[in-house]
Structure 1
């Protein structure tokens, strides 16, 4: 197995970063136990148990301290080890080993910190090792120059899970809530689970396909969506770089059919969890081609062509889940053993940092000339 050289094994960097990562998660996890009504998501609390989260929290504290000690022993730069151990100690002092699950009184407003921590933890332990062992771009650094910006995007979209959930449900309720869909919704919910699940995936992906394609062909909307295409470092965090206007419109159009057809709660939950994992996967820096599955589900190779910098391949692979939707509308492209040489946008000027990128599309186009913008909006 080949591993990227930029990781510097044996120098204490990996153990130091791991200690900090787990230490921060542990400290924030303690806060979730102390203030669950404000920091945790009611719907998500039904998925896990307090006892299981207590075990996971204890394991993270112990692992953070362990990796901190390892880094302290082998690294010349003690800073990372000390920071990791500091967060570990803060988690212990604030009651990390003595937290107790409690009955939560509902709160009208909350921050989805539990959803953020669990998703970040799971995605990191799954995809960081995959990118280390099976990288597509071996010279791409694990901590490239804009990884902090992408991490902020990841954090904001998770912490505002309630906000985005409310604003994306409103269009569906406004336009379709008065029709009277109880019979249709009862029929859908009586379908066999696997058929209902496929139907939900297909209808949501179909709506998202055309929304995605519209963002590429409408000049003003392309300003917002181009933020997503601005990264030249495709990795497990790259999919999170999405402007909040893009998130609002795209999620609304995906959720509207799910609301109209009345899919069951379990189906909707499976869809949300699948998309959370799959969106990370298709942007990951991995050369795994997934065999015949790449013709059934979108894969990194498939989606990387959508981010291709070469103008000859613009306007391809808009589907998020099913490639056959692109085949239906003539936008499918997947050569057998080829990957795009580069990803990103040619001759585009984007500011660095989350706040500047959030404001920028409202002020002007990231492209210097209107002609360049027209070319890119047809990607």
Structure 2
């Protein structure tokens, strides 16, 4: 009985960490919206407030509804609780694994018309991007493209909680950054995805499927392929 209670308390505690994680991303994205991307934020809210509100609803669902539940399950079942140091090397490879999984799923969404319906919502924001819209995706896409690669990384590369959280932090911050129009002027760093490249993806939809850190398109030379379906605008 005591073991069951302790297990339940562990799930509750880690649920709180997941909820705090989601809340932190929302607060940071909101700050970036109104401070860094203020002009884009004003343009979007003035011209299509309903779309913006729908996007924020999906962000709240994904980060406050889905994230805490999944994070709690991963933390209680996959993460090492005996150490507390951040392993930079493991953190880097966690990011690589996650970004590779995202890249595969994202590109698949664009190649197959049937699957694109799970991704089309995110592309409703193509004309005006702001940081918070980075997590404005359907629940299906959030779980399959965002969450599952993170679960896979924790399974393939056992790590402790601080290292896992650090990887999530880097991925999340970079995801906000590549959706920030004002960051498009930042120079391209070799083998890393740039905000300009991700904005090009939202314009053309036929290249730059990588996000939010590692540029797998360049690694695999995918942008030179010509068999990608150009889907109609939504």
TM range (shorter): 0.7 to 0.9
Of residues 137, 140, 157 in structure 1, which corresponds to 2:43? 140
Query: Please, which of 199, 207, 212 is the counterpart of residue 304 of structure 1?
Result: 199
Does 2:63 align with 1:158? yes
Distance 1:201 1:115 in 2: 17
Q: Retained in 2: the 8 A contact 1:283–1:303?
A: yes
Distance in 1, matches of 2:52 and 2:177, equals 16
Provide the aligned C-alpha RMSD in A. Answer: 3.5
Is 1:130 aligned to 2:51, yes or no? Answer: no
Residue 343 of structure 1 is matched in structure 2 by none
For 2:230 and 2:194, the matched residues in 1 are separated by 26
SS at match of 1:242: coil
Q: Distance in 2 between matches of 1:267 and 1:235?
A: 28
- Structure 1 alignment gaps of length 5 or more: 1-36, 47-110, 178-184, 334-373
Q: Tell me which residue corresponds to 1:286.
A: 182
2:231 aligned partner: 376
Structure 1 residues 375 and 291: CA distance shift in structure 2, 3 A: closer
Tell me the residue number matched to 2:13: 42
Which structure: greater helix fraction? 2
- In structure 2, what is the Cα distance between the partners aligned to 1:290 and 1:44? 36
1:266 aligns with 2:121: no
Kindly state the Cα deviation for residue 261 of structure 1 after the two structures are TM-superposed. 1.9
Identify the residue that residue 27 of structure 2 maps to in structure 1: 121
- Pairing of 1:81-96 with structure 2 (within 5 A): none
Q: Does 1:193 align with 2:112?
A: no
CA offset at residue 166 of structure 1?
Answer: 6.5
Aligned to 1:237: 132
Contact 1:211–1:253 (CA under 8 A) maintained in structure 2: no
Give 2:119's aligned residue.
Answer: 225
How far off its partner does 1:326 sit? 0.8
| Aligned equivalent of 2:106 | 212
Shift of 1:214: 1.2
CA distance in 1, matches of 2:178, 2:21: 21
Greater CA radius of gyration, 1 or 2?
A: 1
Pairwise CA distance, 1:268: 0.9
The answer as to whether partners of 1:205 and 1:321 remain within 8 angstroms in 2 is yes
TM-score (norm 2): 0.73
Does 2:213 match 1:318?
Answer: no
| C-alpha contact 2:30 2:132 (8 A) present in aligned 1 | no
**Structure 2 runs not aligned, ≥5 long:** 1-7
Which residue is 2:54 aligned to? 149
Q: Give, in whole Å, the separation in 1 of the partners of 2:167 and 2:160.
A: 11
d(CA) in 1 for partners of 2:55, 2:161: 30
Please tell me whether the aligned partners of residues 37 and 182 of structure 2 are also in contact (alpha carbons under 8 angstroms): yes
User: Equivalents in 2 of 1:323, 1:376: separation in Å?
Assistant: 25
The answer on 1:253 being equivalent to 2:149 is yes
> Is the Cα–Cα contact under 8 Å of residues 90 and 157 in structure 2 kept in the other structure?
no
SS in 2 for 1:306: helix
Number of residue pairs matched by the alignment: 208
The answer as to whether partners of 2:14 and 2:72 remain within 8 angstroms in 1 is no
Higher relative contact order (CA 8 A, sep 6+): 2
Cα displacement string for residues 260-292 of structure 1 (whole angstroms, at most 9, x for unaligned residues): 221332221111122222222211231542225
Shift of 1:323: 4.8
3-state SS in 2 of match to 1:225? coil
Q: Is the 8 A contact 1:323 1:332 kept in 2?
A: no
Structure 1 contact 298–320 (Cα < 8 Å) conserved: yes
CA distance in 1, matches of 2:178, 2:24: 20
Matches within 5 A, 1:338-349: none
